[in-house]
Every structure is written in structure tokens, then in C-alpha cells.
Structure 1
Amino acid sequence: MASLVLTVIGDDRPGLVSAVSRQVEERGGSWQRSQMARLSGKFAGIALVEVPETAIAALEQSLGELAGLDVRVERIEHADAERDVVPLHLHLLGQDRAGIVAEISAALAARGVGIDELSTDVREAPMAGGTLFEVEARLSIPRSTSLGDVRADLERLADELMVDLDLGPAPAPGASGG
């Protein structure tokens, strides 16, 4: 079986996931893991699927024929799954302002920390007015990197940005976290 990452983008409508997953299933494939979302009327998703080697070309062709969708297929190797990293969870909450994601991600990149999953949201601040910005992220910190240094960098940045930031153990993938 070949492991493929599918990226799907298009105007949102009912049946998109069904149309894509049907193409995988009809070629003897298996849907492994995915993250998909609707944002401002657009649909975007990424999925890890496995299909027989002999079905890759047919899958690429059939996905390319789906009306109104831009689908990209990329073959991957599983060497990345065994990286020597420590998984961590980052939660940030503070007044919304431009640049929060850019500054946090730059600080992480400077220490070689990977962002495996990132979810952000803007919502009304209760009682205070204005808006709050929230970040949930699953990080991969190389074992060779000092967790204390990463934590110090993020705490210093949180003080500058005037946000609350927590860094702790990551729940297992697929586990419900809070």
C-alpha cells in the first residue's frame, strides 16, 4: 500500500467529503487520518490515505475530475513518523491583535520546534468588550532542544504580547483534549 496525502480546496457544499472518500474506497484504499474545515464558504481539508500501488494513477485522475475542487495528491514515506521528538500542547489566549501567530511561530521555528497541528479562533471577550484570540497547537520539540529554553522564549513572548500561554504534555493524537 502507498501512503498519500490529499489536499482538497473548493467552494463548500454538501457531499464533498463523500465524493473524495468514495474515490479512495472505490480503488481499494483506506482513509487513515484527516482534518477538514469550512471557513467563509470555502472547504479545505488534508487527509492521509492508503491505496494499492496500482491504484495511484487512477485515484489521481478521478480526484482531478471532481467538479469545483482543487485536489493535490502527494506520496509520502513513513520515516517522518519515527522522529526523535517530544510532543507538547500549547494553549494561548489574549486580546486579539495582528501578528500573534507570526511571532509565536517564529519563536518556535528559531528553536527547531515543529507545529504538527494548529487551530485558531477569534471570539468576543466576555464582560470586557473587544475580541479574544485563542491558539491551540500540538508541537514537536526535538529531544536535543532544551524544553526550558523553549518555555523561556515563549513566556518572554507571552509577556510582550500580553497573552496567557500554557505549554504542557500533549494528549495522544485523536484523544479529546481541552
Structure 2
Amino acid sequence: MKSYLVMTVLGTDRPGLVSSLADTVSAHGGNWLESRMARLAGQFAGIARIECDTASVDALISELQAPGNSGLTILAVREEAEESATRRTVVVDVVGNDRPGIVKELSAAVASAGGNIEELTTGLESAPMTGQPMFRAHGIVSIPEDTESATLIAAIEGLGGDLTVDLSI
């Protein structure tokens, strides 16, 4: 029987870090199913979904979380996904002037429209003419089947006239 883990990893970035984690997963007969990883301010931040035989999962978690695991903080939990109501996903792109709290506002607007953020990447870039910081977000949002995309667009555009929103299915 198979078990599934969701693992988060945080620590000082270095060459071979992902290889070391993959070696540990493989040594326990695990299969690395999917992941998202980034280097942020010299730190490695990652999340991965792992499949492993149920008989090996406790040993894998113990080894991943062993003290002295090269200065990494690793949290691994068994996946216990519940069946949810039918939803559809949309790709959301938002661009606008940066300001403190914009991610808080954006996430609240998505939630108010019944949306759930499945993935989100945010960043700053310089505006072409002025060089002012521009906020950019790209994400995947799931919404109830019966919710119109226009509801989500209106909720995000309601945050201010300086935001442009693009949705695609």
C-alpha cells in the first residue's frame, strides 16, 4: 500500500541540496511526484509531494527530520486530502503599483469570490518609463463550478483602478 507525504524544506541554499533530499527519498523506495522550489535571499524554500510504501514512510520521515540534517528545517506530513466540491481552475495574472499589504488584499479578494489559491508567484519589477516598483502576481485559482469568472475579476479589480487583471482557463 502507498502513502503520500507533503514535505516542506527550508534552509541555507547550497549545491547538491535537492540531490541529497532526492537520495534520501529514493533510499526509502520513495517516488518524488511533484515539487516547487525557489531560492529566496540565499535561502532554499521548497515543497514536494512524495509517494512511498506505507511500511517505509515512518523511517523516511524520521530520516528527513533527523537532527543535524545539514541545517535544514523539514516538515513532512501524511497527505490526507478530502474530496471537495467540483471546482474549476483559472489562471490569474495581476499587475499594478506596489504597496504594503497588496498580497493580503489580493488573497482576501480571491477568497471573497469563493476562490482558493492553488499556486501563487509574486514579485516586483520596474515600470518601463518611471522605474517605480510594479507588483506582479501569477497564480492558479480554483473557483466553484457555478461561479462566473467575472465575479473573481470584479473582486480583484475592486482593490483599485491601478490593477490590471487577466484570467484564462
TM over 0.5: yes
Report Cα offsets for 1:14-60 as digits up to 9, x if no partner: 11111111111011110000000000011110000100001111111
Between 37-46 and 105-114, the greater mean CA deviation after superposition: 105-114
Contact 2:5 2:77 in 1 (8 A): yes
Q: 1:131 maps to which residue?
A: 133
Contact 2:114 2:144 in 1 (8 A): yes
Identity %: 39
Distance (whole Å) between structure 1 residues aligned to residue 17 and residue 116 of structure 2: 30
Amino acid at match of 1:131: P
Which portions of structure 1, spanning 4 or more consecutive aligned residues, are displaced by more than 6 angstroms?
none
TM-score scaled by length of structure 1? 0.87
Report Cα offsets for 1:128-156 as digits up to 9, x if no partner: 22111110010000114343322222222
Between 41-50 and 137-146, the greater mean CA deviation after superposition: 137-146
Distance (whole Å) between structure 2 residues aligned to residue 109 and residue 94 of structure 1: 19
Are 2:18 and 1:17 equivalent residues in the alignment?
Answer: yes
Q: 1:74 maps to which residue?
A: 77
Unaligned 5+ segments in structure 2 are none
Are 2:142 and 1:140 equivalent residues in the alignment?
Answer: yes
Alignment of 1:42-121 (within 5 A): 42-65=43-66, 66-80=69-83, 83-121=85-123
Q: 1:174 maps to which residue?
A: none
Contact 2:10 2:43 in 1 (8 A): yes
Between 141-150 and 29-38, the greater mean CA deviation after superposition: 141-150
Helix, strand or coil at the partner of 1:112: coil
Q: 1:4 maps to which residue?
A: 5
Helix, strand or coil at the partner of 1:140: strand
Q: Which of the two has greater helix per residue? A: 1
TM-score scaled by length of structure 2? 0.91
